[in-house]
Structure 1
Amino acid sequence: MEIVKLKGYEEMSQKSSELVIKTIQEIDNPVLGLATGSTPEGMYGELIKAYRKNNVSFQNVTTFNLDEYVGLSGEDSNSYRYYMNEKLFHAVDIPIEHAHVPNGDTKTPEKECAEYEKLIRDVGYADLQILGIGLNGHIGFNEPGTSFDSKTHTIELDESTRQANARFFNSLEEVPTQAITMGIDTIMKSNKILLLVSGEKKAEAVQKLVQGEITEEFPASILQQHTNVVIIGDEAALSKL
């Protein structure tokens, strides 16, 4: 596990975008696993800047997002499809049919999960998977207690996760109670994992991830068993290591 400590968020965003660009340039038809939330937003901004300077093209890239809320359509401003369109997809040259996000607005979530997992398997697991970490150790929306053998599945969101995400909604009541998420086994099949962490509030979770026991009660701990993980964080997030 490689740990890269940088002064602040801007340096972190720049460094992580360089790793993504390197992956795109070194592999003919790269597959990227993408994450949402506030932490990777700066990285996506840097990727857009690099694209506008003709330093990178997404023409041959395929992406798979980690998760999506059940019950939200891609037009809903709180959906992860909408986030990805706004923060990256619509600003670069990726063919939109290569930019995959689970369909949360489905009447048959279990069928959507099976089809999403099959698509990942058919195209190929991520050459580079971007991750964040929740305060309770969730990766994707794999909450504590999720099996390490899990594939893409629906999950009941932990109350702490809903509260953490409530800032993006008008109220806690509006935050969906379920999500579709890539499973832990699916994530672990990625060739390389890039975990982004920012801010003091993540410091305890990062410490548990790196130095704690491997347990399904803290899903991110499984990353200790992956052979190619890079953690890029600011000083505050890495302060307890």
Structure 2
Amino acid sequence: MEIVILSGGSSRAALAADAVEALVRSKPDAVLGLATGASPLPVYEELVRRHERGGLDFSRTRAFTLDEYVGLPAGHPESYREVIRRDFTSRVNISEANVLGPDGEAADVPAACRAFEDAISGAGGVDLQLLGLGTDGHIGFNEPGSSLASRTRIKTLLEQTRRDNARFFSSQAEVPHHVLTQGLGTVLESRHVILLAAGAQKAQAVRDLAEGPVAAICPASVLQLHPHVTLLLDEAAASSLRLADYYRHSYDGKPRWQGL
């Protein structure tokens, strides 16, 4: 696990975008894993800028989203299918047919989850997965207590998660109680994971993720088992890390040609 601590949000976004750009330019049919939420937004803005000004071409790229609310109709402004479309995919030249998420409207939820897993496998797996981090250590909608080997499935949201997400709805009462999410085992099969976290409210979750035990109480801690994970943090999110000085020293001395 590589931990990069930077003070500016734009620099973190630029580093993540560098990794995406290098992948897409070397492998035009790359498979991206896309997360919603505040953390990846600056990355999407930077990628849109590079598409518009630098000709970064997503025409052959495929993408899978992490999760989806259960029961929100197609086109609902807060369905993650619509959020990803609005924030990123409609602003670059990735085909709408090449972007797939879990089907939150499926009549047969287990079958829909299996079909989504099959689609990821059929695409050859995810090359680069972007992630945010919940204040309780969740990634995707894998709440604390999730199986570390879990696959795409239905989950019930913690009330804290519903409170955190209420800002996107008119009220907390409108936030669905259930979601479909890629499992932790699914995420672990991505070839490269980039997780972005900012703010003091994420500091404990970051420490549990990076320096705590691998345990279901902090689902993101499963990333310690992944061979290629990059954490992009601001100073506040990194403020509880015991080895923060070591992480800074390691990154400062890293050969630039390595990339992330």
Q: Partner letter of residue 142 of structure 1? A: N
- 2:219 and 2:108 map into 1 onto residues whose CA distance is 26
1:182 lines up with 2:182 in the alignment:
yes
Q: Any unmatched runs of 5+ in structure 1?
A: none
- 1:65 and 1:54 map into 2 onto residues whose CA distance is 25
Q: After superposition, what is the alpha-carbon deviation per residue over 1:82-116, rounded to whole angstroms, capped at 9, x for unaligned?
A: 11111111111101110112221222222211110
Kept after mapping to 2: 8 A contact 1:73/1:103: no
Q: 2:248 maps to what in 1?
A: none
- 1:223 and 1:12 map into 2 onto residues whose CA distance is 19
Q: 1:37 maps to what in 2?
A: 37
Three-state SS of the structure 1 residue aligned to 2:54 is: coil
Q: 2:219 maps to what in 1?
A: 219
Q: 1:80 maps to what in 2?
A: 80
Q: 2:159 maps to what in 1?
A: 159
Q: 1:210 maps to what in 2?
A: 210
Q: Partner letter of residue 185 of structure 1? A: G
Q: 2:256 maps to what in 1?
A: none
Three-state SS of the structure 2 residue aligned to 1:134 is: coil
Q: After superposition, what is the alpha-carbon deviation per residue over 1:28-80, rounded to whole angstroms, capped at 9, x for unaligned?
A: 42111110001111110111000001341101111000000001123001111
Is the alpha carbon distance of 1:5 and 1:55 closer, same or farther for their aligned partners in structure 2, counting shifts above 3 Å?
farther
Tell me which structure has the larger Cα radius of gyration: 2
Q: Partner letter of residue 68 of structure 2? A: E
Is the alpha carbon distance of 1:10 and 1:28 closer, same or farther for their aligned partners in structure 2, counting shifts above 3 Å?
closer
Percent pairwise identity: 39
Superposed, which structure 2 residues align to 1:15-164 within 5 Å?
15-164=15-164
Kept after mapping to 1: 8 A contact 2:48/2:91: yes
- 1:41 and 1:103 map into 2 onto residues whose CA distance is 23
Q: Partner letter of residue 130 of structure 2? A: I
1:220 CA drift (Å): 0.6
Q: After superposition, what is the alpha-carbon deviation per residue over 1:174-199, rounded to whole angstroms, capped at 9, x for unaligned?
A: 00000000011110011111001111
- 1:74 and 1:66 map into 2 onto residues whose CA distance is 17
1:155 CA drift (Å): 0.4
Kept after mapping to 1: 8 A contact 2:28/2:58: no
Q: Taking structure 1 as the reference length, what is the TM-score of the superposition?
A: 0.97
1:125 CA drift (Å): 1.5
Q: Taking structure 2 as the reference length, what is the TM-score of the superposition?
A: 0.90
Kept after mapping to 2: 8 A contact 1:130/1:195: yes
Is the alpha carbon distance of 1:20 and 1:154 closer, same or farther for their aligned partners in structure 2, counting shifts above 3 Å?
same
Three-state SS of the structure 2 residue aligned to 1:11 is: helix
Kept after mapping to 2: 8 A contact 1:13/1:42: yes
Three-state SS of the structure 1 residue aligned to 2:42 is: helix
- 1:128 and 1:163 map into 2 onto residues whose CA distance is 29
Q: Any unmatched runs of 5+ in structure 2?
A: 242-260
